[in-house]
Amino acid sequence: MNSALLFLVFVTVVLGGGTLIGFVTRPGKWYAGLTKPTFNPPNWVFAPAWTALYVLVAIAGWRTFMHGGFSAAMLLWLGQLALNFSWSPVFFGARRPGLALVVVITLLGLIVSFIALQWETDLVSALLFLPYAAWVAFATLLNTAIWRLN
């Protein structure tokens, strides 16, 4: 498979998967009724933020695969994507903020591990994950606050 086609596959899987999960597990009335911390962003912020982050994640995944195939870094990338895609079904679908907190903490650990592993071998991929790490760290704080408040 050529590089451009593989790039499109990565973008389609990441952006398409994230979008599909977002539609299937919409927050709804249950989430609207939860007590939220004062730093909870307005709902409209999440879609554009995740869209931008998913593009960065896809590019990093594509670069990682192009440089090393199914390397340790690629396995971390795949693991973080699986956890990322599982958070919404756990939080919104199953309505389990405590279990979702375990998912997001583990996700953050994989993201930081990916950055550390790629820092020396593919700095661009590591840097592409920095905004993602910051957002997921914020999401972890938000998830923690919602879990404690409810």
| Eight-class DSSP state of 38 | T
CB 31 within 8 A of CB 92: yes
Q: How many helices (H) does the chain have, and how many strands (E)?
A: 7, 0
d(CA 96, CA 3): 40
Domains of the chain: which residue ranges? 3-149
SS3 15: helix
pLDDT at 63: 97
Q: Which CATH class is domain 3-149?
A: mainly alpha
Distance of CA 73 to the CA centre of its chain: 16
pTM over 0.85: yes
Average pLDDT over residues 76-93: 98
pLDDT at 69: 86
